[in-house]
Structure 1
Amino acid sequence: MKAITIILSLIFITLVSCDKDANDPNEVVLTRAEIPADIKTYLSTHFASISVNKAVKETENGVVSYEIYLNGNIELEFDSNFNVTDIAAKTQLPNAVIPPAILSYVEKNYPSQFITKWELELAHQQIELNNGVELEFTMNGDFLRVDTD
């Protein structure tokens, strides 16, 4: 009987410890009404027909960011000024969310591929194509290199 109690206790502790997000005081799940207006505008402009599954406001080291999860496995991240910093999907991202110079480069050099991820880094932009190739660009959209990390 003690063995069963110990096993059940260990299972319970494991399940509770794995549920980090539910108890993370730095993350707050937002209602649709609580999503900042600038983020709502971005979503309605570029993802009008796709509904929000979940919106999270995260505070880490005093810095606020927002994570938006849309139907169709689309995830977006916004900084504290409501600027998009990361967009990832299983399908093609809308052309309008990709900087024109980057889109033009991909259309010219990878005509049979499409962009599934765009990320704004500190000193560059990075995209991922549907074949898994990652490309890095300057902040102005000039090609830097194929990311091999």
Structure 2
Amino acid sequence: MKTHITLGLSLVAGLFFSFSANAQKTTITMAELPAKAQTFLKKHFGTENPTYIIKDKETFSTDYKVQFANKIEVEFDGNGDWEEIDGHHTAIPVAVIPVNIASYVKTNFKDSQVTSLDKGRWGYEINLSNGLELEFDSNGKFIRIDD
């Protein structure tokens, strides 16, 4: 019985690593991004020039990462929907922040800016320039300060 369990776990681990090994990262041009991603970047980062654009193709998904000279990074899913915007401790454009979240930050943290914004299925997580991390639901309603 132990042999069967060990063999089963080995097969699962092997499959997992073979799927991970199939990941391919390549540099691409702006024109090769999904149309949604191109539109988003032109609208919110039109004056910035990307230093690189990476397409990360894995077995079951494709993601894109765009970095600008000012070190801001934007990550997109395979459809071109943004997933994360990271300013690396610099403010990200207010126009990319959902209105409810921007309003909450402006009201409650007047002297701070949003330096990163992560959109997940559950909602949003943001980092502020004062070091705090805040969580919001998918409607932009404040949930809590994350420790």
- TM band (smaller chain): 0.7 to 0.9
Partner Cα separation in structure 2 for residue 117 and residue 99 of structure 1: 13
Matched letter for residue 93 of structure 1: I
How many angstroms does 1:36 deviate by?
2.7
Trace 1:29-44 onto structure 2 (pairs within 5 A): 29-44=27-42
Q: List structure 1 segments (4+ residues) > 6 angstroms apart after TM superposition.
A: none
- Which ranges of structure 2 fall in alignment gaps of 5 or more residues? 1-21
Q: Per chain length, whose mean CA-contact separation is higher, i.e. which structure has more relative contact order (CA < 8 Å, sep 6+)?
A: 2
Cα-Cα RMSD: 1.6
CA contact (8 A) 2:134 2:145 kept: yes
Matched letter for residue 131 of structure 2: G
CA contact (8 A) 2:132 2:146 kept: yes
Matched letter for residue 103 of structure 1: A
Q: Under a length normalisation based on structure 1, what TM-score does the superposition of the two structures give? A: 0.79
Where does residue 108 of structure 1 map in the other structure?
107
Partner Cα separation in structure 1 for residue 30 and residue 58 of structure 2: 22
Where does residue 133 of structure 1 map in the other structure?
132
Matched letter for residue 122 of structure 1: R
- Percent identity for Structure 1 against Structure 2: 35
Where does residue 61 of structure 2 map in the other structure?
63
Q: Could you report, residue by residue, the CA deviation over 1:39-77 in whole angstroms, capped at 9, with x for unpaired residues?
A: 121111001111011111112341111111111001000
Partner Cα separation in structure 1 for residue 62 and residue 140 of structure 2: 26
Trace 1:87-98 onto structure 2 (pairs within 5 A): 87-89=85-87, 90-98=89-97
Q: Could you report, residue by residue, the CA deviation over 1:72-131 in whole angstroms, capped at 9, with x for unpaired residues?
A: 001000011110010011321111100000000000100010101000122120000011
- Which ranges of structure 1 fall in alignment gaps of 5 or more residues? 1-23
Matched letter for residue 57 of structure 1: K
Number of residues paired by the alignment?
Answer: 126
